[in-house]
């Protein structure tokens, strides 16, 4: 059977770092309060001239270089983002143009913090269906542009950045030993739409709006939803928590990450955590964490890697990959 195998990975971060100490000068908060409740110590903030598309392009070029490929080798670009450069055209088309790619297809996908998981699942479906041989999947965000910097409950949480992987069609035996995407589990429930949202948009206010969140409600649902899709992935593949080499979660909150791992029985030394240095970068958080752990040698060829995320909507999902 055809599997979607990771051929390359890359990441990009803005130049500016904002520490918790610097955040204290913006809002009534403290480094101690932020670290205790979230695990975040710093985040990257896009400066003028740095956009979702420019960060996504840099991550894409890094992934192409690591895969020893060019844009001509791609058939498909999917960009997961909630902070596009423009309402339209899609940021993916913008990046396609920046890369000099004049063929194939490119489009954006919006599932907020679950966006990268949804995008990987979508690219995998294209590849398994024979519609693409190689897909560039990017998670890119500039959440600093939609934050209310007077709201200390949200502005301390988020940062900017981009990460990318290249998926390539390769033949597998149809077993869990195959490299590539083994299963994807996606969920959503719109009843929770008012718990994490942006209070603006072209069709309603005609403005970009700002991010709003009921933190306690999000936290209350997060661990249960995350474990739901991970257990579904185990059931679909006949694997267990003991088989997982690395859990790469959405980097929203250290307490959610630790709580989910504990509930699933996955040791914390098998969990990739970058929330302390990146903050919550929404759809970019998983590919940024993947790049960090794969570049430093923790994630190796043949490892079983579980990706999971939950985001506004609510949306949530998991992808199990043999690296």
Residues labelled catalytic:
113, 250, 280
CA atoms of 321 and 155, how far apart (whole Å): 33
| Token duo for residue 155 | 């502005």
The total of other beta-carbon atoms located within 10 Å of residue 251's CB is 29
Q: How far is CA 205 from CA 208, 238, 255, in A?
A: 8, 48, 35
Q: How far is CA 127 from CA 154, 166, 173, 260, in A?
A: 37, 12, 16, 31
The total of other beta-carbon atoms located within 10 Å of residue 302's CB is 10
Q: Give me the sign of the Cα torsion angle 102, 282, 186, 86.
A: negative
CA atoms of 281 and 252, how far apart (whole Å): 8
The position carrying tokens 């195998």 is: 5
Q: How far is CA 79 from CA 72, 263, 318, in A?
A: 18, 31, 18
Please tell me whether residue 152 adopts helix, strand or coil conformation: coil
Name 323's Cβ contacts closer than 8 Å, sequence gap at least 6. Answer: 6, 179, 294, 299, 300, 301, 302, 303, 304, 305
Please tell me whether residue 105 adopts helix, strand or coil conformation: strand
Helix (H) or strand (E) holding 186: strand 180-188
């Amino acid at each position: 059977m055809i599997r979607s195998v990771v051929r390359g990975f890359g990441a990009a971060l803005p130049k500016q770092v904002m520490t918790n100490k610097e955040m204290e000068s913006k809002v009534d908060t403290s480094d101690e309060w932020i670290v205790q409740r979230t695990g975040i110590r710093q985040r990257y903030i896009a400066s003028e001239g740095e956009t979702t598309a420019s960060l996504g392009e840099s991550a894409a070029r890094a992934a192409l270089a690591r895969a020893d490929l060019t844009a001509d080798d791609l058939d498909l670009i999917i960009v997961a983002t909630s902070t596009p450069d423009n309402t339209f055209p899609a940021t993916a088309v913008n990046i396609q143009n920046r890369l000099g790619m004049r063929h194939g297809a490119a489009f954006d996908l919006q599932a907020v913090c679950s966006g990268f998981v949804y995008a990987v699942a979508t690219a995998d479906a294209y590849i398994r269906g024979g519609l693409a041989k190689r897909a560039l999947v990017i998670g890119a965000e500039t959440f600093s542009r939609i934050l209310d910097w007077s709201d200390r409950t949200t502005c301390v949480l988020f940062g900017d950045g981009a990460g990318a992987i290249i998926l390539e069609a390769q033949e597998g035996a149809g077993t869990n030993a195959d490299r590539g995407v083994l299963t994807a589990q996606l969920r959503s429930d719109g009843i929770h739409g008012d718990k994490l949202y942006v209070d603006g948009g072209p069709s309603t206010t005609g403005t970009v709006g700002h991010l709003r969140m009921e933190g306690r409600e999000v936290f209350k649902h997060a661990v249960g939803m995350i474990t739901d899709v991970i257990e579904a992935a185990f059931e679909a593949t006949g694997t267990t928590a003991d088989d997982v080499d690395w859990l790469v979660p959405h980097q929203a909150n250290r307490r959610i990450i630790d709580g989910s791992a504990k509930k699933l029985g996955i040791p914390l030394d098998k969990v990739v955590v970058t929330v302390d240095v990146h903050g919550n970068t929404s759809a970019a958080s998983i590919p940024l964490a993947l790049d960090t752990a794969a570049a430093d040698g923790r994630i190796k060829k043949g490892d079983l890697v579980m990706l999971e995320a939950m985001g506004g909507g609510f949306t949530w999902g998991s992808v199990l990959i043999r690296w």
